[in-house]
Structure 1
Amino acid sequence: MTIDVFKWKTMGNPKHTDSSNINEAGFGDGYSQIWVSGINNVSESWDLTYTGCINEIKEVRDFLNSHIIKSFKWKNPYGEEKLYRVVNKSIESEFVGGRVVSLSFKFIQAYSP
């Protein structure tokens, strides 16, 4: 099975967030135990923007909508190619003027078995 690639160059200032999947159990004396859950316990997300003419934006938007549950490859600004998927309800369009549209969306890191 081939994995799709997000081929468009994002614009603006991408915002990156790392999230750790940890658990904590606190005790009455102030002591707490902290541990990680699973082998992929740190995941990243990216808030991104793409601006272009309406026909190009339609192509990007179609790709994004088809990859909410299906992962794809993308090379992040750190130069790392990883698997991601689009966060549900994160795709927003802003019509800047004429036929120019600014599309904002969010990627979250995905993992494969």
Structure 2
Amino acid sequence: MTDTFTWPTQARNTGTETGSVRESRFGGGYRQVVANGINPLARSWPIRWSGPKDTALAIRDFLRAHIGVPFYWTAPGDTQQLYTCVTWSPNDEGGNVYTITATFEQFNSP
């Protein structure tokens, strides 16, 4: 069973969507472009979470346990999809407050 990242992230994150295409160029400046594959769209989201240390450690442990293992996450304004995360940064803000920043990349399975 696939796990779900359920912690709320901070607002104002900006995602990136990148299309994959195949292109052929012909004489006279003509070219042909078509979508590459059945899912030619890749999405990535930088996320940020701030809160108490115990929750930050739970998020960190979740990300550690999912290195190379896709998990479900719902991007802002989208539906739940599979994502992976290979880089994150925990930051001690002082007191009991921690911040975690990470980048979630959409996982398209064959």
Q: What pairs up with 1:1-113 in 2 under 5 angstroms?
A: 2-86=1-85, 88=86, 90-113=87-110
* Equivalent residues of 2:69, 2:84 under 8 A apart: yes
Q: Identity over aligned residues, as a percent?
A: 32
* Deviates further, 9-18 or 26-35: 26-35
Distance 1:45 1:67 in 2: 17
Paired amino acid for 2:80: E
Report the number of matched residues: 110
Distance 2:22 2:51 in 1: 43
TM-score, normalisation: structure 1: 0.85
Distance 1:44 1:109 in 2: 5
DSSP 3-state at the match of 2:55: helix
* Equivalent residues of 1:13, 1:48 under 8 A apart: no
Distance 2:47 2:89 in 1: 11
Q: CA RMSD in A?
A: 1.7
TM-score, normalisation: structure 2: 0.87
DSSP 3-state at the match of 2:61: helix
Stretches of structure 1 that go unaligned for 5 or more consecutive residues are none
Distance 1:35 1:12 in 2: 34
- 1:18-77 CA distances to partner (integer Å, 9 max, x unpaired)? 111112233453222212211011121111001112221111011112223111111222
Stretches of structure 2 that go unaligned for 5 or more consecutive residues are none
Distance 1:25 1:68 in 2: 37
Paired amino acid for 1:106: T
